A and B are shown apart, each in its own frame.
Chain A
């Protein structure tokens, strides 16, 4: 629990900073939610939502509506690393489907799930604007292109190695 308290403090500091960039009411809300996601491993727990609701003086249900409407946000816990693999046509026609299958096999989960060790969540996304090098995925804010099944394994193993 103390862990979360530290993070809440961190979030409050970030939100205060974000507030200084506000020009009109409400235009800082999405930025605050992005900050929460960064601090809380890609999701927005209730404590974080409450902190934002207090700091920006908006109702909780609005914070919740936003965290569920936008696909970059999640109220459910996600893994430490969020994998977003593109499933739009330009990636699909250059073997994107096999890359998604390779991810599922390598991680031993299906799209939408989180690995047991809590390291990865796998999600599909529509076009990431990197179709010039499709198939494409992003792990957190880093993008990987020209993927093949083998490349996928290599990359995932790289992240796994990092943990130990």
Chain B
């Protein structure tokens, strides 16, 4: 008898929007037409972490990967491979090659993304089969303080941007005296260029639920919330389903795993406001108010959601927890740098050949990320700059490529932030980018304090003028001064962070700013000047 063949089809958001669902239907109907549904099963899986290439199929037990871009490709694979058992050489790919263009020394280290692409995220049994909820069972046998010690010993720091030591935060929330406490997962991922949290929410939702339950046990809370960005429709659906499944299995709800610990988790959607990613603004929003940041102190560990002590962690931070509990703090510290143990999930975006998400040890250099995993700059162009860490991150020139990425790298002028690595090629204009950054701040300012509300608008106006050839030399100084002043006086980290991206792009590309002002010319030909006699040059890419 023939063994059952399994076709795994990647169903993350990126594949969905490349038509993965239609391909799956086509494949299923082909199988039905040939009366082969007993022999071939089609299973949806998470992402393989590679985007922009088409849909990835994996055929088991042959372990062959295919990239398909049309129904013809799929037909061919069906007729040749599935019917006749012959590999379709021109469509099959070596997954490692696809991801890592060269044989690089450094390999991907999967702690956070340990299950992504390997399990069907909508099937709780597959998660359990890979030691899922074993960390929760183990934690329930431990004393809360032992769990805290393990998290502290691991040296794990928050992956949401601020890098606060996670174990310490857990300890502080545990020590806060209150009948009611909350565990809150920050899944309001809005940092431009970052989509790692979405990947985890959609590709391994149970890892987050498990970590939240562990946190609940440790700090003494029976209620958890996951606040998910409103635009992440698919993530919301999948997490909701995961919660229902976990409740059915007795892994959430009353008397978790038969213990006297009970824990409930609810999902709440956001409604579109970047500032709500800030922890206190998020709490306001969850309480049904406009998402404006609160004054700190008091800190959320004492006075958080609904005025109760609250532990808030980012999705990626939480995804580390079950691994640490199962494998121990010591194993965790085998990865990364001394001050930043573990891994970081980087999102590689922009003008890079292979866009996607990759999990690497802390301390990996930008060069390794860009050339080792990204395959270099797209379309054979040359590298102009990289922005790391998201919109609030620094712009760096290629001379910073060898700086190891970690929480420490900001000392060398490179932000780690959310792990976004935005590759920018030589067809882009520094002034145009700076203007976009300013526009982002202007738009996302919540309006609570004047320096940020008015200042960001004024800076945008000046940059807009410069980009149209209407700028004056002294305005460059003005922008500098204003962004420094906003950094000093703004109420929350959003406003405070505007100085970093703007000053770094200006410092690195002074000449280009000057050209727009003095020569009334955009050296790259991106900005459209309002002067009639200057020819519009559009660069074709």
Contact = CB atoms under 8 A, between A and B. Distances in A.
Interface of A: 21, 23-31, 33-34, 58, 62, 65-66, 69-73, 84, 87-90, 92-95, 125-134, 136, 138, 141-146
Q: With a 10 A CB-CB cut-off, give which of B16, B273, B349, B541 has the most chain A CB atoms.
A: B349
Given A89-B350, A89-B436, A128-B231, A133 B355 contact: yes
Contact of A93 (B229, B231, B268, B422): B422
A58 B289 CA distance: 11
Nearest to A140: B233
A128 B17 CA distance: 13
B13 interface: yes
A67 B36 CA distance: 52
Q: With a 10 A CB-CB cut-off, give which of A84, A94, A129, A141 has the most chain B CB atoms.
A: A129
B285 A30 contact: yes
B521 interface: no
A90 B266 CA distance: 32
B445 interface: no
A127 B194 contact: yes
Contacts of B270: 30, 70, 72
Interface string B174-217: 00000000000000011111110110000000000000000000
Interface string B8-36: 00000110111000000000000000000
Contacts of B286: 27
B437 interface: yes
Nearest to A127: B192
Contacts of A25: 288
A30 B269 contact: yes
A38 B437 CA distance: 32
Contacts of A90: 192-193, 349-350, 420, 422
B424 A127 contact: no
Contacts of B407: none
Nearest to B354: A132
Contact of B17 (A66, A84, A92, A144): A144
A133 B230 CA distance: 20
B17 A133 contact: yes
A145 B192 contact: no
Interface in B371-426: 387, 391, 420, 422, 424-425
A136 B18 CA distance: 11
B272 A70 contact: yes
Given A88-B193, A90-B349, A93-B424, A126 B440 contact: yes
A27 B356 CA distance: 34
A12 to B, nearest CB: 18
Interface of B: 13-14, 16-18, 51-52, 189-195, 197-198, 223, 225, 229-233, 264, 266, 268-274, 285-291, 306, 347, 349-351, 355-357, 387, 391, 420, 422, 424-425, 428, 433, 436-437, 439-440, 443-444, 446, 541
A27 B444 CA distance: 23
Contacts of B349: 90, 131-132, 134
Contacts of A143: 13, 16-17
6 closest A-B pairs by CB:
A26-B288, A132-B51, A29-B288, A70-B271, A72-B272, A88-B192
A49 B355 CA distance: 42
Nearest to B306: A24
Nearest to A86: B192
A141 B233 contact: yes
B13 A146 contact: no
A132 B192 contact: no
B195 A89 contact: no
Contacts of A62: 288-289
Nearest to B15: A133
B307 to A, nearest CB: 10
A71 B272 contact: yes
Contact of A58 (B198, B288, B433): B288
A94 B230 contact: no
B236 to A, nearest CB: 10
Given A92-B436, A130-B13, 19 more contacts: A24-B306, A26-B288, A27-B225, A30-B269, A33-B271, A34-B269, A66-B288, A66-B290, A70-B272, A70-B290, A88-B391, A89-B433, A90-B349, A94-B350, A94-B351, A129-B231, A131-B193, A131-B347, A132-B355
A129 B437 contact: no
Contacts of B189: 129
B350 A145 contact: no
A65 B446 CA distance: 13
Given A72-B230, A126-B443, A26 B350 contact: no
B249 to A, nearest CB: 21
A138 to B, nearest CB: 7
Contacts of A145: 14, 17-18
A84 to B, nearest CB: 8
A126 B443 CA distance: 9
A97 B274 CA distance: 21
Given A89-B192, A92-B436, A145-B17, A72 B266 contact: no
A162 to B, nearest CB: 17
A132 B424 contact: no
B108 to A, nearest CB: 16
B351 A93 contact: yes
Given A34-B230, A92-B436, A129 B198 contact: yes
A73 B231 contact: no
Contacts of B51: 132-133
